[in-house]
């Protein structure tokens, strides 16, 4: 978009104050400055025509009437042709910030076309009201010769060839800030409004006018001096001197005019190019809000328009890219948040609830739910969903049959994301009364390696909400959820196994210490955890082994133990429990070893006995000794069926 107009110079300041009147002031100023060029015609006429006093008086009377009339006619024509331009400039002057022309394209086109219209009107009025009538008047009045009429015609041509291009180029340059204000925002309107006055044609016109003026100034001098020598019997030497002086004067004026016209023309070309180059530099530095000023009416304006359109598209692309980056960053943050929650929660029910809530909150989706396969793998049961609709579906034990043609079933069978969109040639109409605003739905399989756990179902209120990138993002998140669900399942199974093992171990320790010889015949088991029970000045410290209390240490004294002493007492009690357990295990191992030794010795003696009687006697004797029995008896008998 074009930057707001800022006053940067003398004429721009006048425009800011004058508004629509600036156009009239610009044409007046252009004509006054260009009138200096008309001096060339006056010089040519004075050097060559040599009018009689009567003819000079007639010409002056005519010029005093015609020149102001032509000036006012040109001013009136420009005022009429630029009515809409001046109205728009007045509106702009009153409120520059809120300025908006109702006919922007037409006003823009007028500001472009007024240049060639002004040049054409100047040429028509000059020839129709000045050059031709003046020549006819002198010819018919009998106050001038044929040569004088020709000199008058040539002087008129010189005047207009100097005035028209100079005033036109200057007027065009003064209208530059006007065009900058009236430039439409639409690029098509900018292109169609250009006058398409080519730089080539401008250059040819400037060069042609300069050459014609030079030729029309110099040629009559030589002709005039030649006729004086031939017909007026004057001194040739004096004529030669006069010719030299006039030639030098006219050549100097021609060169001065050509240089001035060339400078003005060059400025009209170089200034827009420099502005365009400045815009290029600003864009190169990264400022995509820069727009090149469209102030001329030639190819430079076309180049500036193309440049502005290119920068606008770059800015749009950058904005789209930044928007996509922001969206992608938000998605990644949402995925990270889901992943963080998924890895920090080991309870499956809590995990499912947090995941579906995060998906709808972080991604802004309408509804989401998680379906898990039943034990037989035939049904995908809804385990968790968002919103009131999700609670109703859960309460009704909602499920999807895997073998049927539904979105959840297809996702589980194909192990690929399945999408339904309410857009395009294959638009799907969603008729779930609990989710009336669904316009897009995607089902994503929950995969852990080759194992399928279920599917993640996501709904959106947009007709084409899920792009390939969105589906890829959601699938990555679904994979994280699947892994977390599998980890939660494994954790629950492991925790259950550990609880069972702890119960078995606790029971084993309980029974082992009851039967252990390290305890008294009557064993009292302390209840509770590792807490101190204060009674008078005694301290009871439970002796705990793997969460199983196997005894207690009672300390009595006149004073209660300070806290720091209780800490090291607890440490000693802990070591005592471990030492007792080691002692029990050693005792148990020794007992088992002794039993195995006795079994081995008795077995060897039994195998060494040669007869049945000897075997029986050996068994009775050895068992009796080991068990300290007073009597041992073996009876052999077979029960009849």
pLDDT in tens, 327-336: 777 777 777 7
Specify whether the CB–CB gap between 126 and 208 falls below 8 A.
Answer: no
- Between residues 478 and 548, the one the model is more confident about: 478
Sheet containing 418-421: order of strands = 399-401, 379-385, 367-373, 451-460, 440-448, 418-421
Q: Which residue has the tokens 């209208």?
A: 175
Nearest of 635, 629, 600, 631 to residue 616 by alpha carbon = 635
Round the average pLDDT of the chain to a whole number and report it: 80
User: How much is the pLDDT for 528?
Assistant: 45
User: How much is the pLDDT for 8?
Assistant: 52
Of the ranges 134-148, 269-283, 341-355, which one carries the lowest mean pLDDT score? Answer: 341-355
User: How much is the pLDDT for 641?
Assistant: 57
The DSSP output letter for 329 is H
- Between residues 175 and 560, the one the model is more confident about: 175
pLDDT-derived band at 514 (thresholds 50, 70, 90) equals: low
DSSP lists the bridge partners of residue 444 as 456
Residue 76 has pLDDT above 90, yes or no: yes
User: How much is the pLDDT for 5?
Assistant: 44
Q: For the chain, what percent of residues have pLDDT higher than 90? A: 5
Residue 523 has pLDDT above 50, yes or no: no
615 is written with which tokens? Answer: 């075997």
Q: What's the whole-number mean pLDDT along residues 229-252? A: 77
Q: What's the whole-number mean pLDDT along residues 624-635? A: 74
User: How much is the pLDDT for 631?
Assistant: 75
Question: Which secondary structure element, helix H or strand E, spans residue 40, and what is its range?
Answer: helix 39-48
Q: Which residue has the tokens 């469209």?
A: 294
Q: For the chain, what percent of residues have pLDDT higher than 70? A: 88
Of the ranges 3-12, 386-395, 507-516, which one carries the lowest mean pLDDT score? Answer: 3-12
The DSSP output letter for 448 is E
Residue 494 has pLDDT above 70, yes or no: yes
């Amino acid at each position: 978009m074009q930057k707001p107009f800022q006053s940067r110079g003398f004429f721009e300041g006048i425009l800011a104050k004058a508004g629509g009147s600036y156009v009239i002031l610009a044409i007046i100023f252009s004509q006054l400055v260009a009138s200096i060029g008309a001096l060339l015609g006056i010089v040519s006429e004075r050097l060559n025509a040599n009018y009689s006093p009567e003819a000079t008086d007639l010409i002056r009377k005519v010029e005093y009437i015609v020149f102001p009339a032509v000036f006012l006619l040109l001013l009136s024509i420009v005022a009429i042709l630029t009515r809409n331009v001046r109205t728009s400039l007045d509106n702009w002057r009153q409120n520059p910030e809120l300025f908006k022309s109702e006919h922007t394209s037409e006003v823009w086109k007028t500001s472009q076309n007024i240049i060639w219209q002004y040049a054409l009107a100047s040429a028509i009025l000059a020839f129709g009201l000045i050059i031709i009538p003046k020549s006819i008047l002198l010819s018919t009045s009998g106050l001038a010769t044929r040569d004088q009429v020709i000199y008058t015609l040539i002087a008129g041509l010189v005047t207009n060839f100097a005035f028209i291009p100079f005033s036109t180029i200057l007027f065009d340059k003064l209208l530059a800030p006007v065009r900058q204000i009236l430039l439409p925002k639409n690029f098509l309107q900018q292109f169609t409004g250009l006058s398409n006055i080519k730089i080539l044609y401008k250059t040819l016109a400037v060069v042609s006018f300069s050459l014609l003026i030079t030729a029309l100034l110099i040629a009559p001098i030589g002709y005039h001096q030649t006729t004086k020598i031939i017909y007026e019997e004057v001194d040739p030497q004096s004529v030669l001197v006069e010719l030299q002086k006039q030639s030098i004067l006219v050549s100097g004026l021609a060169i001065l005019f050509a240089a001035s016209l060339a400078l003005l023309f060059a400025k009209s070309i170089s200034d827009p190019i420099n502005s365009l180059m400045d815009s290029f530099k600003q864009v190169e530095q990264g400022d995509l809000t820069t727009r090149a000023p469209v102030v001329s009416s030639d190819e430079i304006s076309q180049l500036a328009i193309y440049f502005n359109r290119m920068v606008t598209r770059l800015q749009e692309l950058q904005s789209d890219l930044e928007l996509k980056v922001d969206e992608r960053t938000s998605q990644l943050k949402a995925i990270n948040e889901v992943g963080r929650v998924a890895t920090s929660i080991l309870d499956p029910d809590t995990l499912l609830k947090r995941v579906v809530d995060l998906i709808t909150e972080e991604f802004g989706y309408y509804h989401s739910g998680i379906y898990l396969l039943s034990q037989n793998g035939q049904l995908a049961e809804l385990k968790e969903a968002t919103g009131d609709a999700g609670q109703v579906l859960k309460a009704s034990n909602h499920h999807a049959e895997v073998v049927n043609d539904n979105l959840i079933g297809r996702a589980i069978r194909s192990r690929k994301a399945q999408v339904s969109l309410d857009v395009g040639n294959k638009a799907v109409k969603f008729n779930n009364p609990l989710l009336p605003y669904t316009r897009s739905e995607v089902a994503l399989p929950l995969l852990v390696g080759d194992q399928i756990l279920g599917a993640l179902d996501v709904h959106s209120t947009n007709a084409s909400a899920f792009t390939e990138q969105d589906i890829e993002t959601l699938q990555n998140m679904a994979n994280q959820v699947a892994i977390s669900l599998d980890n939660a399942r494994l954790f629950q199974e492991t925790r259950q196994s550990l609880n069972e093992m702890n119960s078995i171990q606790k029971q084993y320790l309980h029974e082992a210490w009851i039967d252990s010889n390290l305890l008294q015949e009557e064993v009292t088991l302390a209840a509770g955890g590792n807490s101190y029970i204060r009674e008078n000045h005694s301290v009871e410290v439970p002796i705990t082994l793997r969460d199983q209390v196997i005894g207690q240490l009672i300390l009595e004294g006149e004073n209660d133990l300070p806290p720091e002493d209780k800490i090291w007492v607890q440490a000693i009690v802990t070591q005592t429990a471990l030492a007792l357990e080691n002692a029990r295990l050693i005792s148990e191992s020794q007992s088992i070893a002794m039993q195995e030794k006795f079994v081995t010795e008795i077995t060897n003696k039994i195998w060494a006995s040669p007869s049945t009687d000897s075997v029986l006697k050996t068994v009775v004797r050895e068992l009796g000794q080991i068990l300290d029995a007073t009597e041992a008896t073996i009876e052999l008998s077979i029960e009849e069926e």
